[in-house]
Structures are given as structure tokens and as C-alpha cells.
Amino acid sequence: MEATVVTRFISKVDATGECWLWIGGCFKEGYGRFTLDGHLVLAHRIAYELWVGPIPNGLQLDHICHNNDATCAGGSACIHRRCVNPAHLDPVTSRENVLRSTVSTASRNARKTHCPYGHPLDGVQKNGGRTASNRARYCKTCLRDRSREAV
């Protein structure tokens, strides 16, 4: 990218802390936005491409600084979404990005090792257990017992 783009980009970054915070405009989801060739783009993606290189096809950037902060509630107010430090950005699949999250239902369920009744979710079962309508994960034993009780 040309030097003027780099200069313009850097002028919108506060790099005084570990996270380089985007101080320019943001999308409503909380991610920094940068205008490049007349298009609004995600600032953290530009940072990665400027200092690391192209983002591999099919991957998205995970903010590892967010994953390492158990106190962050996530969502559009998450300060880590404004981080453009390329050392804090890891190219991963969409699935990996969701599973690394600390707040998503999918990531919380993926970390569970036992069903609500103490039976292990040992990976022998497809997806390590089934999710019921109440979002709890049950093993096959519990689901079989629940089916018998329903008859």
C-alpha cells in the first residue's frame, strides 16, 4: 500500500498500550472502520495486511487480546474490537473464532465435559452430546431416559 495510506492509517491509532486502539470511526458492531479506495473496510484487517501480509482465503482474524481477557463481556462495547495490533490478530476459521470466544453459547457448550446430571460428554457421541431446547447439553443416556419417560 502506498505511504499516504499507511500515514493516514497510523494517524487513527493510539499505540500507547498493548492493544493499539482505533480512534477513528467505528462500525455499529464496535470494529474500527477505515476508508480505502472509496470503500469502508475493517481497520484490523488493514493493520494485519500492512504489517503481516495477506489474510489467507477463508479465514477471519481473531482478536486474541479479547480471548485473554476474562473480564470482557464482549459485544459491540468490547474494547478489543478496536484493537489493530497485528500481534493480537490470529487468522482462524469462523468455527475456531466462535469456539475461542468466552461468551458465545457454542463456545460455552464446547467447553462442557459433563451433562447436567454428571454423565461425561466424552466425544464418543456426535458433537459430544445433544443440546435441548433449554440450551443444556445432555448425553445420550439422559436423552434416552427422557424419551422413555415421555412415553
Q: Considering only CA atoms, which of 94, 20, 22 is closest in space to residue 55?
A: 94
Q: Is residue 105 part of a domain?
A: no
Same domain (yes/no): 53, 84 = yes
Q: Is residue 107 part of a domain?
A: no
Last-in-domain residue among 80, 100, 120: 100
Q: What's the half-sphere exposure (Cβ side, CA atoms, 13 Å) at 9?
A: 27
Q: Considering only CA atoms, which of 55, 48, 54, 28 is closest in space to residue 40?
A: 28
Same domain (yes/no): 68, 8 = yes
Top pLDDT among 117 and 53 is at 53
* Kind plus residue range of the DSSP H or E element containing 108: helix 105-111
Our count of domains for the chain comes to 2
pLDDT in tens, 74-101: 778 889 999 999 999 999 998 888 877 7
Residue 32 is given by DSSP the state: B
Looking up residue 30, the CATH number of its domain turns out to be 3.90.75
Same domain (yes/no): 36, 89 = yes
pTM higher than the cut 0.85? no
pLDDT at site 33? 97
Q: Is residue 106 part of a domain?
A: no
Model confidence band, residue 34 (pLDDT cutoffs 50, 70, 90): very high
pLDDT at site 127? 45
- Residue 35 lies in domain: 3-100
Averaged confidence pLDDT in the chain: 83
pLDDT at site 102? 63
How far, in Å, CA of 69 to CA of 19, rounded?
Answer: 12
Q: Is it the case that residue 4 has pLDDT exceeding 50?
A: yes
The lowest-confidence range among 4-13, 15-24, 49-58, 64-73 is: 64-73
* Kind plus residue range of the DSSP H or E element containing 39: strand 39-42
